[in-house]
Amino acid sequence: MSRPHVLIVEARFYQDLADQLFSGVAAVLDAADVTYERQWVFGSFELPAAIRFALDAPPEGDAPRRFDGFIALGCVIEGETDHYEHICREESRGLMDLSYQFAAPLGFGLLTCRTYEQAIARAAVDRKNKGADAAHACLRMIELKRTLSQARP
């Protein structure tokens, strides 16, 4: 089987958190010898559209699809309005819809936190390291898709 190629799309609204999440992702992908590309969007709301753009991109060479999997990284921190609930719900739904509709392996690295302190605890590579978790999830889904897609006698 060919080496997986993963697109990482990161929301850079909270740049320090995005950097921590990416560090966790990169460590896992590098250790697994996976090739990857890194793109950014301003905020979490743009993550599903960016992944959809990649899914709609024309194939390169003989490959039917440019990317084998996707990792969405970002953070939404609760503020003083209900904006937080809307963004969290719609982002999660949008990413899940893409994964399901396109059979696209996806690592969900979108933090939805009440405080900045909760977010840094989840993003930091020396703490909960949710970036690494998203990378592991993506790699497992790529593996599962490849296994289940193989022709059976």
pLDDT bracket for residue 119 (50, 70, 90): very high
**What pLDDT does residue 150 have?**
86
Q: What is the pLDDT of residues 44-101, one digit of tens each?
A: 999 999 999 999 998 777 666 689 999 999 999 998 888 888 899 999 999 999 999 9
**Using CA atoms, how far apart are residues 132 and 16, in angstroms rounded to an integer?**
16
**What pLDDT does residue 153 have?**
60
Q: Binding site annotation covers 77?
A: yes
**What pLDDT does residue 81 have?**
80
Residue 25's CB: how many other CB atoms inside 10 A?
A: 30
**What pLDDT does residue 98 have?**
97
Q: Among 5, 83, 86, 136, which one carries the catalytic annotation? A: 83
**What pLDDT does residue 82 have?**
83
Contact predicate 12/18, CB 8 Å = yes
State the average pLDDT for the chain: 94
Q: Binding site annotation covers 108?
A: yes
Q: Binding site annotation covers 85?
A: no
Q: What single-letter amino acid sits at 30?
A: D
Strand arrangement, sheet containing 69-77? 35-41, 5-11, 69-77, 106-113
User: Quick check: is 83 catalytic?
Assistant: yes
E strands, 22-97, where?
35-41, 69-77
**Using CA atoms, how far apart are residues 114 and 118, in angstroms rounded to an integer?**
7
Backbone angles phi, psi at 45, to 5 degrees: -60, -30
Second CATH level (architecture) for the domain 5-149: 3-Layer(aba) Sandwich (3.40)
Q: What is the pLDDT of residues 2-23, one digit of tens each?
A: 899 999 999 999 999 999 999 9
**What pLDDT does residue 1 have?**
66
**Using CA atoms, how far apart are residues 153 and 150, in angstroms rounded to an integer?**
10
Q: Binding site annotation covers 42?
A: no
Contact predicate 9/72, CB 8 Å = yes
**Using CA atoms, how far apart are residues 100 and 95, in angstroms rounded to an integer?**
9
**What pLDDT does residue 151 have?**
65
**What pLDDT does residue 59 have?**
78
Q: Binding site annotation covers 46?
A: yes
Mean pLDDT of 12-41: 98
Which has more confidence, 59 or 118? 118
